[in-house]
Amino acid sequence: MIKFRDRKLVVGLEIGTSKVCALVGEVLSDDSIVNIIGVGDCPSRGMDKGGVNDLELVVKCVHRAIDQAEMMADCHISSVYLALSGQHIRCQNEIGMVPVSEEEVTQEDVEIVVHTAKSVRICDEHRILHVIPQEYAIDYQEGIKNPVGLSGLRMQAKVHLITCHNDMAKNIIKATERCGLKVDQLIFSGLAASYAVLTEDERELGVCVVDIGGGTMDITIYTDGALRDTTVIPYAGKVVTSDIAYALGTPPLDAEMLKIKHGCALESMVKKDENVVVPSVGGRPARNVQKQTLAGVIEPRYTELLTLVNDRILQLQEQLRQQGVKYHLAAGVVLTGGAAQIDGLSTCAQQVFHTQVRIAQPLNITGLTDYTEKPYYSTVIGLLHYGKECYLHNKTEIEKHTAVSNWLKRIHSWLRKEF
Ligand SMILES: Nc1ncnc2c1ncn2[C@@H]1O[C@H](COP(=O)(O)OP(=O)(O)O)[C@@H](O)[C@H]1O
Ligand SMILES: [Mg+2]
């Protein structure tokens, strides 16, 4: 059995409202790619809108997903990058300012200014999940992305803080630790999804990513290359299924199957003469229903969900405009997550957003791509990209540390020889 440390492996775990998914990825010499070597996936139980509401059930699901992934990847999983979602996720944009210690800005100055920017009051009972630098200013020069080496007297940093409720974080960590796993880091699901599906150009031009899952829509908005907003809306694919169940009088499990196999988010795309068999409840016989009727239930609900997203975009754009920050989303809207897989969604979404829309699957992966190159896997693949970045960052930190200590050793032995 190949042990974890013999290969550079990272593991992503998403305990979603609909599915629990564990992926094992191998960090390759090409830094931008993750090679997927193991997948474990099972329907989620005990989760609601991103939060744990039955610990025992969640633990069972995590065990199943991890066992499958371990078997496929032939490794032992001891720690994971874990996704977190839920309406408790909040964000705030903050500013920090410090004098530049030497003639030019050093990496240490950058760390200090970011630390100052995050040292602010956050919501009660919340903890900081991410501190993401947006841009720096040195004296009168604004919009700097990498200030190291530049000269100046004072440096300012703008950062985006993402926070989460302490107890929500504790519960999902507890479920994971009960399976004997260590949590490397907790990552906001929407942020992970954006890492998996966006290109650099899209971030620069301005883009809104929506990860549409079962219980939540996780939104991240980028303009001018920086993250400006993160929000969670507590409605998603499950409400569509529930509408179908009510409208057609069919059990929820059948409504889910009908949606996945025959659903369409654009009524006008469906031919009039196509029918589907709809199971009934209470022993009544199944009925033939026009596919168009099914789409007639689905389209209004998707339109409503996406309108909630559009309202958020408009609200943020107004705030950014007032602050003099670029607010255009020239790269439009990118939809991903399981519920973005429905037919006709891009046209339905264009009617809501009046801009270009792309349904996105994860990028920069190799290995088990036949299986995982789907919007459904975006979040968990984003966790692997995040984990890979942490791995590479830690490696350079260690290398830097060793380089410095080697250098100190050399000076030390040189001094000993001198005296
Ligand atoms: N082909 C499909 N068409 C429409 N909805 C789908 C399809 N595949 C999955 N879904 C929906 O996607 C949702 C699950 O998405 P997922 O991203 O796995 O959720 P989560 O991360 O919240 O567990 C469910 O509501 C499911 O009905
Ligand atoms: Mg998800």
Quick: pLDDT tens for 369-387.
999 999 999 999 999 999 9
Question: In which region does residue 46 sit, left (phi positive, over 0), alpha (psi from -120 to 50) or beta (all else)?
Answer: left
Among 234-238, 272-276, 396-400, which range has the highest average pLDDT? 234-238
Tell the residue number behind the tokens 């059990």, with chain if given.
251
Tell me the HSE value of 22 on the side-chain side, using a 13 A CA sphere: 30
Q: How far is the CA of 129 from the centre of ligand 2 (A)?
A: 17
* pLDDT tens string 286-327: 999 999 999 999 999 999 999 999 999 999 999 999 999 999
Given a cut of 50, whether residue 336 has pLDDT beyond it is yes
- Whole-angstrom Cα distance, residue 369 to residue 374? 9
* pLDDT tens string 259-294: 999 999 999 999 989 999 999 998 899 999 999 999
**What's the pLDDT at 415?**
46
Tokens of 209: 């990513």
* CA 223 to each of CA 40, 259, 366: distance values in angstroms, whole numbers, following the listed order: 35, 34, 29
- Whole-angstrom Cα distance, residue 78 to residue 184? 10
The side-by-side arrangement of strands in the sheet containing 333-336 is 226-233, 217-223, 207-212, 333-336, 357-359
- Whole-angstrom Cα distance, residue 134 to residue 96? 12
CB 113 within 8 A of CB 94: no
Q: Which residue has the higher pLDDT, 407 or 34?
A: 34
Q: Which of 131-135, 281-285, 335-339 has the lowest mean pLDDT?
A: 281-285
Given a cut of 90, whether residue 412 has pLDDT beyond it is no
- Please give the mean pLDDT across all residues of the chain: 92
**What's the pLDDT at 30?**
77
**What's the pLDDT at 31?**
78
* Residue 190 CB less than 6 A away from ligand 1: no
Among 281-290, 352-361, 388-397, which range has the highest average pLDDT? 352-361
* Residue 367 CB less than 6 A away from ligand 1: no
Predicted confidence band of residue 399 (pLDDT cuts 50, 70, 90): low
* pLDDT tens string 4-42: 556 789 999 999 999 999 999 999 877 789 999 999 999
Q: Ligand 1 pocket test: pick from 17, 39, 305 the residue with the most ligand atoms within 8 Å of its Cβ.
A: 17
Q: What does residue 174 show for φ and ψ, rounded to 5 degrees? A: -60, -45
Given a cut of 70, whether residue 152 has pLDDT beyond it is yes
Given a cut of 50, whether residue 242 has pLDDT beyond it is yes
Given a cut of 60, whether residue 185 has pLDDT beyond it is yes
**What's the pLDDT at 407?**
46
**What's the pLDDT at 274?**
93
**What's the pLDDT at 222?**
98
Ligand 1 atom nearest 19 alpha carbon: 23
Predicted confidence band of residue 403 (pLDDT cuts 50, 70, 90): very low
Predicted confidence band of residue 1 (pLDDT cuts 50, 70, 90): very low
Q: What is the largest CA-CA distance in the chain?
A: 98
Neighbouring residues of the ion ligand 2, judged by CB less than 5 Å: 16, 213, 379
* pLDDT tens string 34-89: 999 999 999 999 999 989 999 999 999 999 999 999 999 999 999 999 999 999 99
* Residue 189 CB less than 6 A away from ligand 1: no
* CA 57 to each of CA 49, 54, 82, 131: distance values in angstroms, whole numbers, following the listed order: 15, 6, 18, 32
Q: How far is the CA of 354 from the centre of ligand 1 (A)?
A: 24
Ligand 1 atom nearest 343 alpha carbon: 3
Predicted confidence band of residue 391 (pLDDT cuts 50, 70, 90): confident
**What's the pLDDT at 101?**
82
Encoded amino acid at 332, one letter: G
The proportion of the chain whose per-residue pLDDT surpasses 70, expressed as a percent, equals: 93
Residues 6 or more apart in contact with residue 408 via CB below 8 angstroms: none
Given a cut of 90, whether residue 417 has pLDDT beyond it is no
**What's the pLDDT at 334?**
98
Question: Following CA atoms 209, 183, 399, 159 in sequence, which dihedral angle do they give, to the nearest 10 degrees?
Answer: 40
Tell the residue number behind the tokens 């590479």, with chain if given.
392
* Residue 86 CB less than 6 A away from ligand 1: no
Q: Which residue has the higher pLDDT, 3 or 82?
A: 82
Ligand 1 atom nearest 211 alpha carbon: 17
